[in-house]
Structure 1
Amino acid sequence: MAGELTMSPVMQDALVILGSAGIVIPVFARFRITPIIGFILIGVAVGPFGLGMLVDENPWLQYVTISDPERLTPFADFGIILLLFAIGLELSFNRLWQLRKLVFGLGSLELLIIGSISAAFFGQYSGMDTTAALALGFALAFSSTAIVLPIAGTKSPVGRAALSMLLFEDIMIVPIIFILGALAPTAAAGGVEGLTNTLVSGGLVIIVLLVVGRFALPRLFSQAARTKSPELFLAATMLVVIGASLATSATGLSPIVGALIAGLLIAETEYHGEVETIMEPFKGLALGVFLITIGMSVNLLQVWANLGEVIAALVGLLVFKAIITGTLLKMMGARRSTAAETGVLMASPSETTLIVLAAATSALVIDTETAQFWQIVTALGLTVTPLLAKLGRVIARRIELAPELPEEDSEEARTIIIGGGRVGRLVADMMTKHDQPYVILDSDPDLIDDAKRNGYRATFGDAARGDSLTRLGVETAPSVVLTMDEPVLAQRLVGKLRKEHPDLLIVSRARDTDHAAQLYRAGASHAVPETLESSLQLSEAVLVDIGVAMGPVIASIHEKRDEFRERLEIDGGLKQPPKLRTSTSEG
């Protein structure tokens, strides 16, 4: 009929997803609950095993349900790619090199020990053959990159430990799937040879990406920046991400490897801050699509029919992985609180578990009934991961209490110093000298303990999480001082603080003048470049020592500092150049 309204299934799914995001994000933010749980619950509700089961009796429900989860798979995969790209932006090659011992030490031990013990258990008590037991054991050994890292971040001790293990797991996805194919009853004789060819060709592609990206990306983004077109900048970013992902996937490697490399390469350029800002909404929405697909895979009727077995399997898996991971971290020198929190957080299975189970099922290594049971356990495990994160923090506090501020000072308005290193402590010394209250906030418990032993007012917390600053009274704080040597995190925190507290005095340490200009654009009241201050101090020392009078030297230093500060504010867009201001007044 001409008047009948028709809508393509893709458009209908898009409306459901966007509508879900519009409900989940503000509602869960209102109650300070991670939207991860909300997206998964939405997936359960709108999926074929939720409201989709009632469509035949209630046809109108087709407009608020997604009947075919497979249509969302490409978008969910893209969400994982963007997530790994964002992780790469937060890292650098230098930092990644510093993590090499954790990645290939802790990461390999965690995967091999959990996978091996699980395989031995399934082989001994479930009657599985060796190949099936190995496939299931190593599938369950994976932890969720998509959910764990947004919760833990990459800056805190827990985040660094989780990142190290997850990076190794991501590296091992392809070899494990190839090995399963080689061990399968239907495997071709060239399975091992295919693995070798993939690793060789993949290694060559990675080398090409590193070499070409090092020289081409700065020029590409420089040209995009000159156009002053956000659309072109976004297009250039998507070109790099998708191109790198396709290059690695064409050789048989996971596309997330290419996405991670693209992020690392862009992180080495001066445009990483702009790229991170422009990609943030896309990453969040794409990750939401992935979480919705996880929720849609949960068959509530099947869960209810096997409730006892499912709960027993899930609890047993969570406890086992938490104990093994926590023990390994403690043996490698981590604090008890860090080991406990990381162990609990990493306990749930992963989206990669679903991939490995699907590959093992298609290769006839695991029977369909067993795979479906563990797919349900995995989906439920992913659903409770945010709750595990909260449980891990509670256990960590019970095991080793984090330093807290005295209760009687909780209402005192004070300056919050983010970062308890040498710069943060120097700021604290000056605050003390002038009788100004302060508190140091840092996510490194060792650094906090040392600061408290030396008489500083310090407390443990992650500034990237809003509850830490709220607990310290940021609403009434006269100022916030950012002293950490983390350019990306500093810029992100400045933007967040300025958005939430428009009148707050925000003073931030900057790595150089370019970084200072970025901080001013993000909303900093003052940004102090390290290079500028060291140059001024060197000039003061040499001028005084060669005989110039102290008074004129100090006056000239102050004049030069003000001159640089005005220039940085102009570069940051806070002021107009003097000529423009003059011409305006004269006109």
Structure 2
Amino acid sequence: MAAEVSGPDLVSVVVLLGAGVVAVPLFKRLGLGSVLGYLAAGLVIGPFGLKFFTDPQTILHVAELGVVMFLFIIGLEMQPSRLWSMRKDIFGLGVLQVGLCAVLLTAVVIAAGFPLAQSFVAAAGFVLTSTAIVMQLLEERGEIASPQGQRMVSILLLEDLAIVPLLALIAFLAPISTATSGGLNWQGIGIGIGAIVGLVLAGRYLLNPLFGFLAESRAREVMTAAGLLVVLGAALVMQVSGLSMAMGAFLAGVLLSESTFRHQLEADVEPFRGILLGLFFLAVGMSLDLSVVAANWQTVLFYVIAFKFVKGTGIYIVARLLRSSNREALERAVIMAQGGEFAFVLYSTATAVGILDGEANAILTAIVIFSMALTPLFILGLRFLLPKEVEQMDGIDVAEGLSGSVLIIGFGRFGQISSQPLLLRGVDISIIDTDIEMIQAAAQFGFKVYYGDGTRLDILHAAGAGRAQAVLICVDKAEASLAIAGLLKSEFPLVQIYARAYDRGTTIELIKLGVEYQMRETFESAVIFGENTLIGLGVDPDEAAEIANDVRRRDAERLNLQLAGGIWAGTDLMKGNAPVPGPLIKPRQTGRALNEETASVLPSTQAADAS
């Protein structure tokens, strides 16, 4: 009989991964966000659910590395010059919001009859917004780089920095000997400052040479290990010095933000960050003690509502005082009116030194968790309550009475390049688009672009489609391109239509509508790209050009064959690339554009095999 060998607990690993894989896509499909999915999954598999895990704190300690790596990634995006440009928001807006909310929340707890020390600790934990949740929400909404997102990031950075003085205050408030609490711990302050200085010096003078040396080995796994070593090493230095691990990781990221290895590091750390951050939220969900919540549900409910309302009010007041719009102030208040992951650190520290007891710690933890879990729901509610944001039309003229000999509909990258030969030839053009930001940006470069939706017949009339010699459809959406072409052909049959096609299917539909010319947006550039690749590989330029023309001929032939009924066979679809008679090339049965594009250049035997 084989000897029994102890190994890793794969059941636990499978349960953790399975819970996330099932819950997160489901909650994102429902519009509730991935964070709430992780929290709910943790609650289900935790000690108060299906009991797969009985000690979530162990997992939580490991999963905190996810927050550490998340802040390292954020740090990589924050070059020192960028941080310096954000200093007013970090130390102005951030300090004002944290200070006001701390005072208001402390007053709420004192009014409920609790001592000053406990009230301050409870309030301080809730003041520190969840960096992970807010950054995840901003990332999902694509708003991290927006001005509103940058202001929230600035506040989060200040809150992350605030963990250090808050932990020092907890030690000062601890009900222990006067000798310990009666003065400042100058030794600890010196160690902390020394650790920060040492980390800065190491980042400035050692990290780039180190990664340069490792890069010469061309061992990918060594670079990944070095990236993890930098993150965890910086976090460890800060932790041993009595500071925040997250602060150390963030500082390491900032120091490497201008390194030539920045993107390599980000790619190496990102998978670990994602998995551990998800694990962190799972562990937080497991930590929700339902027995304490059940016994004190009225207290928990009161403080969840009171804390979120008071903190949200404080955030809104600060935002409006600093001249943010009503919409931005409301969104910031809803997104940031929650406790955060650092609250668990503060409450654990306060319990260890005797400010809080075990039951108070459990209740406060439950309040923070519920506030985090409710945030995605509050955001959904805000979307329904707030009217749809109206784009500012300052300096924007609506299309009316235009008379250009050529009308361009859509002025993105494709439309801008298409217009250049016409402008150089002196052709009188009119341009319409629906993208407000693009219209304003084009005006800075001397282009007059009018606001107008080309899928509306009244706009086409106002834009002068009936008076134009040609209309260029340069929009990027296939359905819009087909809709515009259909309107033009039915209402202005004499106008020439030149259309941008998204893919092969759109091309066929445009041909059936009878447009004078169509071009798939990537076809010609991709053919030239392949032609130049052949030249780079040593093929004679004339031979490469002949091969590229053969690709064009095969593509035109295939388009003929794909058009229904054979009516279009033999027609010059490509306007200058006449189809060449040849064997029938069967399209692949999947109907996918990629397969059709690929099959169009295969020899007949290969195409038959592919189908």
Quickly name the TM-score band, shorter chain normalised. 0.5 to 0.7
Assess, with a 3 A threshold, how the Cα gap between structure 1 residues 449 and 181 changes in structure 2: closer, same or farther.
farther
Distance 2:223 2:318 in 1: 43
Change (3 A) 1:401 1:237: same
Shift of 1:442: 6.2
Taking only aligned residues, the RMSD between alpha carbons, in angstroms, comes to: 4.3
Q: Partners in 1 of 2:204 and 2:539 — Cα distance?
A: 40
Offset of residue 51 of structure 1: 0.8
Give 2:361's match in structure 1, choosing from 355, 368, 371: 371
Structure 2 residue 252 is matched with structure 1 residue 266: no
Q: Give the whole-Å Cα distance in 1 for the aligned partners of 2:103 and 2:57.
A: 32
The Cα shift of 1:246 comes to 1.5
- Aligned partner of 1:163 in structure 2 is 153
CA distance in 1, matches of 2:415, 2:273: 36
Tell whether 2:224 aligns with 1:234. Answer: yes
Pairs aligned (count) = 460
- Aligned pair partner of 1:333 in 294, 304, 323: 323
Pair 1:111 & 2:98 matched: yes
State the AA in 1 paired with 2:162. Answer: M
2:512: which partner in 1? none
Is 1:24–1:38's contact at 8 Å kept on the other side of the alignment? yes
| Aligned-partner Cα distance in 1 for 2:503–2:24 | 23
**Aligned residue in 2 for 1:486:** none
1:128 alignment partner, SS class? coil
Is contact 1:40–1:291 with CA below 8 Å preserved after alignment?
yes
1:578 maps onto 2:536 in alignment: yes
CA–CA separation in structure 2 for the residues paired with 1:208 and 1:322: 39
Structure 2: distance between partners of 1:473 and 1:256: 42
2:142 pairs with 1:143: no
Query: Rg bigger for which structure?
Result: 2
Structure 2 residue aligned with 1:179: 169
89, 102, 121: which one pairs with 1:102?
89
Query: Is 2:116 aligned against 1:130?
Result: yes
For residues 114-513 of structure 1, the aligned pairs below 5 Å read: 114-123=101-110, 125-153=111-139, 154-187=144-177, 189-191=179-181, 195-394=185-384, 397=387, 401-402=390-391, 414=410, 438-440=433-435, 457=451
**Residue type matched to 1:256 in 2?**
A
Would the aligned equivalents of 1:428 and 1:438 in 2 still touch at CA under 8 Å?
no
Q: For 1:485-564, what aligned pairs fall within 5 Å after superposition? A: none
Secondary structure of 1:333's aligned partner: coil
Ranges in structure 1 where 5+ consecutive residues have no aligned partner: 53-64, 418-423, 460-471, 479-500, 505-523, 527-561
CA distance in 2, matches of 1:81, 1:322: 26
Q: Which whole-Å deviations, capped at 9, do the CAs of 1:470-527 have from their partners, x for residues lacking one?
A: xx9767689xxxxxxxxxxxxxxxxxxxxxx9999xxxxxxxxxxxxxxxxxxx989x
Q: Secondary structure at the match of 2:206?
A: helix
Give the distance between the partners of 1:356 and 1:458, measured in 2 at CA: 55
Task: Tell me which amino acid in the other structure corresponds to 1:174.
Answer: V
Partner letter of residue 86 of structure 2? Answer: L
Whole-Å separation in 2 of the counterparts to 1:325 and 1:209? 34
CA contact (8 A) 1:182 1:188 kept: no
Deviations 1:84-121 (CA, angstroms, capped at 9, x unpaired): 01111222111111111111111111111111222223
Q: Tell me the secondary structure at the aligned position of residue 298 of structure 1.
A: coil
Q: CA deviation at 1:350?
A: 1.0
Note closer, same or farther for the CA distance 1:581–1:330 as it changes in structure 2 (3 Å cut). Answer: farther
Whole-angstrom CA distance in 1 between matches of 2:267 and 2:87 = 28
Give TM-score scaled by structure 1 length.
0.68
Deviation of the 1:219 alpha carbon: 2.7
CA separation in 2, counterparts of 1:425 and 1:332?
40
The alignment's TM-score, normalised by the length of structure 2, stands at 0.65
Task: Assess if the C-alpha contact under 8 Å between 2:436 and 2:451 holds in 1.
Answer: no
Tell me by how many angstroms 1:426 deviates. Answer: 8.4
What SS is found at the alignment partner of 1:204? Answer: helix
Indicate if the aligned counterparts of 1:182 and 1:191 stay in contact, CA closer than 8 A.
yes
SS at match of 1:48: coil
Give 1:213 shift.
1.4
1:91 and 2:107 aligned = no
Deviations 1:262-314 (A, max 9, x none): 21122202332232233222111110000001110123344344444323321
Instruction: Tell me which amino acid in the other structure corresponds to 1:105.
Output: G
Deviation at 1:415, TM superposition (A): 6.1
Shift of 1:576: 7.3
Q: Which moved more, 1:104-113 or 1:68-77?
A: 68-77
Bigger share in helix? 1
Q: Tell me how far 1:130 sits from its aligned partner.
A: 1.6
Q: 2:11 maps to what in 1?
A: 12
Answer yes or no: is the 8 Å Cα contact 1:213–1:265 preserved in 2.
Answer: yes
Provide the C-alpha distance between the structure 2 equivalents of 1:458 and 1:250, rounded to a whole number of angstroms: 61
Q: Work out the CA distance in 1 between the residues paired with 2:415 and 2:84.
A: 28
Task: Give, in whole Å, the separation in 2 of the partners of 1:22 and 1:293.
Answer: 15
Task: Measure the CA separation in 2 of the matches of 1:47 and 1:255.
Answer: 26
Q: Indicate the residue corresponding to 1:51 in structure 2.
A: 50
Once the two structures are superposed, what CA deviation does each residue of 1:37-62 show, in whole Å capped at 9, x if it has no partner?
Answer: 1111110000001111xxxxxxxxxx
Kindly provide the amino acid, as one letter, of the partner of residue 114 in structure 1. C
Distance, in Å, in 1 between the alignment partners of 2:354 and 2:442 is 53
Q: Structure 2: which 5+ residue stretches go unaligned?
A: 400-407, 424-428, 454-474, 482-501, 506-520, 545-611
TM-fit CA distance, 1:340:
1.3
